[in-house]
Amino acid sequence: MLILGFPDSQPQAQALATQLHADYAQIDIHRFPDGESKLTLPATLPPRIILFRSLHQPNDKLIELLLACKTARTQGVSHITLIAPYLCYMRQDIAFHPGEAVSQTIIGQWLAELTDAVITVDPHLHRIAHLSEAIPRPRAIALSAMPAMADFLRQRFADAVLVGPDAESQQWVASLADAAQLSWGIAEKVRSGDYDVVITLPSLDVTGRDVVLVDDMISTGRTLKQAASALRQQGACSVHALVVHALFSDDQDWRHDLGLDGIWSSDSVPHASNAFSLTALLASAVHN
């Protein structure tokens, strides 16, 4: 088994290779001044490979994934498994207005044409039940980070309250609360723009309690900031955030800026908030 990694996800790809007792090789990327990428793969490849790359900041990465897959095919590779711990372009699953591109369908079909199997973790799916509806491949596998998150929580809190910042987070919050045996609630979010949200908290008594905000991803953090402020006003003694994917939009002082005592994320996207690993989860999926 050969795992091919990219420079930006080298530690995670190498950790997976070690867990699987697999060989690891890295794709070399040279970026020209005009923004184009030149990829160099190993000169010899086996018939089956695993490409490992998380697809945050996706536009450049998708082009480089295309170049890598097409080049591997010319070298005789017959089976490509893509492991993308974070999978991009899944949120736009319908056209809300005439002329809008349904990116989930377009990118999903494109990935199905490039690869033979896809493994990801907690993709941002709303109106479909299975990843194979977005990526039409029998082996389009969406894993859940909830068991790893529950283990992480149990080591830190005996009686925390879990809060989801919006209705979309309920699937993750409910699953995590059940696994960790904790109380939970879901806030109501009204969004009027990418950076303008209003949060209404659920009917929970958080006075003197540790509260953990749970979501699948965080980017600007404005939703969590609003929720953290409201929870402190209601008497919470600490407010942390636990997310699968840390998609911070810039180099902000994320913890201080958001008014949180701490932010914890998986290593699906390399970030200073990474607190637990998905390596064992991904390795198990490859074995199965």
pLDDT on residue 142: 96
| Residue 162's pLDDT band (cuts 50, 70, 90) | very high
User: Bridge partners of 190?
Assistant: 198
Q: Are 55 and 248 in contact (CB under 8 A)?
A: no
The stretch 94-113 carries a mean pLDDT of: 94
Q: Are 83 and 54 in contact (CB under 8 A)?
A: no
pLDDT at 215 over 80: yes
Q: Which residues contact 93 (CB under 8 A, 6 or more apart)?
A: 102, 104, 105, 125, 126, 127, 128, 134
pLDDT on residue 251: 55
pLDDT at 198 over 80: no
Ordered by where they begin, the domains of the chain are 2-143 (3.40.50.2020), 146-276 (3.40.50.2020)
Closest CA to 13 of 271, 282, 245: 282
pLDDT at 22 over 90: yes
| Residue 127's pLDDT band (cuts 50, 70, 90) | confident
Closest CA to 156 of 187, 130, 182: 182
Pairing of strands 262-266, 274-276: parallel
pLDDT on residue 102: 94
Q: Which of 61-70, 79-88, 105-114, 242-251 has the lowest mean pLDDT?
A: 242-251
Taking the CA atoms of residue 115, residue 120, residue 125 and residue 130 in that order, the dihedral angle to the nearest 10 degrees is 70
pLDDT at 55 over 90: yes
Closest CA to 185 of 160, 216, 222, 219: 160
pTM of the model: 0.92
pLDDT tens for each residue of 226-278: 889 889 999 999 999 999 999 976 555 565 678 889 999 999 999 989 999 99
Distance CA 178, CA 264 (A): 19
